[in-house]
């Protein structure tokens, strides 16, 4: 399951989506997420699905690779669906046995939340899969630059988000190494129920935290050795510029928002 996590990883390939300005992809991702939470009809969700499928097709990222990332949230997804089925009230009751009460409204709301969560994860992962950490940092910093007038640390926020995304695959790889080392020494992470598997993961946390703190300390020392002083006076080798493809993508985003409002 550790290898199935794709959030925060970059999939290098030559596609029109990869060539877009990172600011364009960030803004379109926010528009996608906001519009997704306003959709509440079957036709609306179908329109969101078609728009996401078109974006994945243009990005040339394998669908199997993107769906593989959903395996890591199966437990959260099932927990969310079951919670909404049993705790959402409604007028049309299906099962009423003691404290257990299931309604049609609860089932529909649970399916809606599950669908929304899947579309949210897949759509958000498309941003990191098609944008390198450096581009993502520059895009976030550029979008936050107007807020520096009210003393918002744009460069620091962008740097922290970039480092966080960069450390996700590193920590996943470190976790995989620790699990293999403990498996070779007789540890069992596959058998048993969910609670027993969760308890078996506890011995992994200590060496993982130690490794994470060691890597953070090494990164801080490397930044200090290179006289890193923040974003003041910093120049960039590649400047961000909008091109024809970005304006076409913005047009697609406007059509997407109009479609969500209409449906």
pLDDT of residue 99 exceeding 70, the answer is no
- The dihedral of CA 253, 117, 52, 255: what is its sign? negative
Highest mean pLDDT among 24-33, 112-121, 220-229, 253-262: 24-33
Share above pLDDT 90 across residues of the chain, in percent, rounded to a whole number: 3
At residue 25, the pLDDT reads: 92
Instruction: Output the DSSP codes for 77-123.
Output: HHHHHHHHHHH---SSEEEEETTEEEEHHHHHHHHHHHHHHHHHHHH
203 vs 52, higher pLDDT: 52
Nearest of 245, 236, 237 to residue 28 by alpha carbon: 245
The per-residue pLDDT of the chain, averaged, comes to 81
Question: Cα-flanking dihedrals φ and ψ of residue 103, to 5°?
Answer: -120, 160
**Looking at residue 43, what is its pLDDT?**
85
61: left (phi over 0), alpha (psi -120 to 50) or beta: beta
| pLDDT per residue as tens digits for the range 73-95 | 777 777 777 777 777 776 767 76
**How many CA atoms are closer than 13 Å to the CA of 40, on its beta-carbon side?**
2
Between 47-56, 181-190, 214-223, 249-258, the lowest mean confidence (pLDDT) is in: 181-190
Question: What integer is the mean pLDDT of 99-109?
Answer: 75
Query: Is-above-0.95 flag for pTM?
Result: no
* pLDDT at 36 exceeding the cut of 80: yes
d(CA 255, CA 263): 12
pLDDT digits (tens, 9 = 90+) for 136-188: 888 888 888 888 888 888 888 888 877 887 787 788 788 888 888 888 887 77
């Amino acid at each position: 399951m550790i290898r199935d996590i794709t959030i925060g990883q970059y999939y290098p390939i030559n596609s029109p989506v990869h060539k877009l300005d990172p600011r364009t992809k960030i803004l379109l991702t926010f528009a996608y997420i906001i519009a997704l939470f306003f959709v509440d009809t079957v036709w609306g969700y179908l329109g969101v699905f078609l728009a996401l499928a078109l974006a994945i097709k243009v990005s040339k990222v394998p669908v199997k690779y993107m769906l593989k990332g959903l395996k890591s949230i199966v437990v959260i997804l099932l927990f969310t669906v079951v919670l909404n089925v049993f705790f959402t009230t409604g007028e049309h009751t299906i099962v009423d046995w003691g404290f257990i009460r299931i309604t049609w409204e609860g089932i529909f709301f649970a399916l809606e939340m599950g669908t929304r969560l899947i579309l949210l994860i897949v759509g958000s992962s498309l941003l990191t899969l098609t944008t390198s950490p450096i581009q993502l940092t520059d895009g976030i910093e550029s979008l936050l630059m107007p807020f520096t007038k009210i003393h918002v640390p744009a460069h620091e926020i962008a740097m922290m988000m970039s480092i966080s995304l960069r450390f996700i695959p590193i920590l996943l790889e470190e976790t995989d190494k620790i699990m293999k080392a403990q498996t070779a020494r007789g540890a069992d992470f596959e058998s048993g129920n969910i609670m027993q598997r969760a308890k078996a993961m506890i011995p992994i946390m200590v060496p993982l935290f130690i490794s994470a703190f060691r890597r953070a300390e090494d990164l801080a020392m490397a930044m200090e050795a290179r006289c890193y002083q923040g974003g003041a006076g910093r120049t960039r080798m590649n400047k961000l510029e909008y091109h024809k493809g970005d304006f076409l993508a913005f047009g697609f985003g406007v059509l997407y928002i109009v479609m969500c409002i209409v449906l």
